[in-house]
Each structure stands twice: as C-alpha cells, then as structure tokens.
Amino acid sequence: MFDILIIAVQVVGLYLLADLVGGIFHWAEDTLGDVDDPIWGKVFVQPNQTHHDRPADMMKIHWLKNNIPILSFTALVLIVAYFADAMSWQLLVFAAFGGFNQQAHRFTHAPRHRLPKIIKRLQKIGVLQNAPHHWKHHIDPHVTHYCVLTPWLNPWLDKLGFWRGLERIFVPLFGAPRRPDLQTKSWYRD
C-alpha cells in the first residue's frame, strides 16, 4: 500500500514538473529573442506572437502541426535517455505529461462543445486547465499565467514573483526586445 502511495505522489509531482517546465518554456517564448532570430525566432517567437495577436487562430492549425515541436523534442529526450541507459518509468511519465502540454493548451482555446467529454470533465474538476484560467495569460501585457497544463501552479508562481525572477536572471543575458515593460529596468540589456 505504501508503494502505491509513493508512486502516486511521484506521478502528481511529475505532472506538476511538466507544467512548470512547459511554463518556463512558454515564458521564454514570450520574453526572450525576436522574430528575426534564425531558429528561435522562426520556430517559437513568431508563432507565439501570432497566437497572442489572434488566439483563436490556434484552432485553424491541424492538431499535429501544432503539437509536432513539443512531441519531437520529447521523442529526442527519450531517445537520448534510452541510449544513455537513463530510461525510467518516471522519465516516461514526465515525457507523456510534457508532450501533452501543447494539446492541453489547445483545449483551452477550443469551443467547449467541441471538447471530448473526458477533457471537459478533467477541466471541470481542475486536473486540466480550463479556458477562463488560461485567458488570464491573454490579457495585455501577457506576463502572468504561463503554465498551461494545470490551474495549480500559476497562482503560486505569479504570487511568488517567479517570472519576474527569471526576467532578472535571463533578460540581462539574452535581452527582451519585445518586452517594453522591462526596458526601464536598470538591469535590462537589449
């Protein structure tokens, strides 16, 4: 019985970790770099900027095209782990949750009547993030609620100033040309 409890706690922890890692990546997409950056700009910044300008357009993109970047990265991590003899059930569970991040985000933009019943139920009981929670991120200037998998982490991370801490560390290193709200900070680097 105790083993089942330990596994359940690990699974919940991995779910939250996948949400946190996805949120950090989302924060980086929103904050760092510019559309003109060779790889980062074209693959992540431009689509993300378009998404903030026209959030509903996400549903016009085929679900596979929308999910392929995160699924490809997840597959690469698993391949490397396999050949490095570092595969574990925890890594597989984390990869499954992490690979689902973008699809969970997509569900928050889908018309409710088009969602599968299981997704509606998971959103209703708070296992998956729902549209009203996610919409808080789409309010200008788009600087809160970066996690898209669950509704659990955003209130805490926002209250603790987690995202402002990341800005303080990484913006002086990489710049944030799309974030005019940061350009008045003494530590800002363009």
Residue 120 CB-density burial (10 A; 0-12 exposed, 13-18 middle, 19+ buried)? middle
List, for residues 50-85, the tens digit of each pLDDT value. Answer: 888 898 888 898 999 889 989 999 999 999 999 999
Span 147-171, pLDDT tens digits = 999 999 999 999 999 999 999 999 9
Q: How large a percentage of the chain has pLDDT more than 90?
A: 71
Q: With CA atoms as reference, report the closest residue to 51 among 39, 61, 40, 38.
A: 61
DSSP 94-117: HHHHHHTHHHHHHHHHS-GGGS-H
d(C-alpha 63, C-alpha 112), whole Å: 16
Q: Among 96, 81, 89, which residue's Cα sits nearest to residue 15? A: 96
Mean pLDDT computed over 133-160: 95
pLDDT band at 189, cuts 50/70/90? low
The residues near 56 (Cβ < 8 Å, ≥ 6 apart) are 109
For the record, the structure tokens of 162 come out as: 């987690």
Q: Rounded to 5 degrees, what angle do the CA atoms 56, 44, 100 make? A: 65
Residues in contact with 148: Cβ distance below 8 Å, sequence separation at least 6, in sequence order: 19, 22, 23, 26, 101, 102, 104, 105, 108, 129, 134, 137
3-state helix, strand, coil in the chain (%, to 5): 70, 0, 30
Q: How far apart are CA 126 and CA 74, in angstroms?
A: 25
Owner of token pair 């898209």: 148
pTM for the structure as a whole: 0.93
pLDDT of residue 7 exceeding 80: yes
